[in-house]
């Protein structure tokens, strides 16, 4: 998609998210984080040190939580950035699982109170029987992992629109 902002066109590579104040946030080319005002003017722009995916604004409109967009030869990570100017607030580097790096599989989702952020990660082993997905629950203030769940089996029943999940808790 393309967004016009004060006569400029940016090609977007991530979904944009909109804060409660109407500011739009998006990442271009995996390393350019932008904040646009409601009139389309640029509020701020930051060149990122690493490849990052789509930002999601918390319900309190204080931070963006973004998953990495690295290749699998690099450790995945989750980062929080200030909505004020994009500076890094905290970062969680994802541990290797069974010798494989994790990658971010979803955009962040927040608890209604904004105190916890949730993301799904996974390993790609090349074999569906050994690749594993994980759900991370993060303290949005500190970026500490409050829990990680390994999904061992999932089945979706289309007739009943029901998702059944089996998982194990790692008790971080």
- Kindly tell me if the per-residue pLDDT of 149 is higher than 60: no
Min mean pLDDT across 3-7, 35-39, 116-120 is at 3-7
CA 16 to chain centre: 12
- Encoded tokens for 159: 């007739």
Q: What is the pTM of this model?
A: 0.78
At 137 the pLDDT is 84
Burial of 44 (0-12, 13-18, 19+ CB in 10 A): middle
Strands 162-169 and 145-157: antiparallel
- Encoded tokens for 131: 């690749």
Distance between CA atoms of residues 31 and 35, nearest Å: 13
Query: pLDDT tens digits, residue range 68-122?
Result: 988 888 899 999 999 999 999 999 999 888 889 999 988 999 988 888 888 888 8
Tally of CB atoms within 10 A around 110: 19
- Encoded tokens for 60: 């309190």
């Amino acid at each position: 998609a393309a967004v016009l902002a004060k006569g400029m066109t940016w090609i977007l590579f991530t979904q944009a998210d909109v804060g409660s104040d109407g500011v739009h946030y998006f990442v271009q080319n995996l390393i350019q984080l932008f904040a646009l005002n409601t009139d389309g003017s640029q509020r701020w722009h930051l060149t990122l040190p690493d490849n990052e995916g789509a930002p999601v604004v918390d319900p309190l409109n204080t931070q963006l939580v973004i998953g990495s967009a690295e290749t699998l030869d690099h450790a995945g990570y989750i980062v929080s950035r200030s909505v004020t100017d994009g500076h890094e607030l905290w970062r969680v580097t994802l541990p290797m699982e069974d010798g494989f790096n994790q990658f971010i599989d979803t955009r962040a989702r927040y608890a209604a109170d904004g105190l916890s952020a949730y993301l799904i990660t996974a390993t790609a082993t090349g074999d569906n029987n050994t690749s594993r997905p994980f759900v991370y629950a993060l303290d949005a203030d500190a970026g500490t992992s409050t829990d990680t769940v390994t999904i061992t089996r999932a089945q979706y029943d289309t007739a009943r629109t029901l998702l059944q999940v089996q998982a194990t808790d790692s008790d971080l």
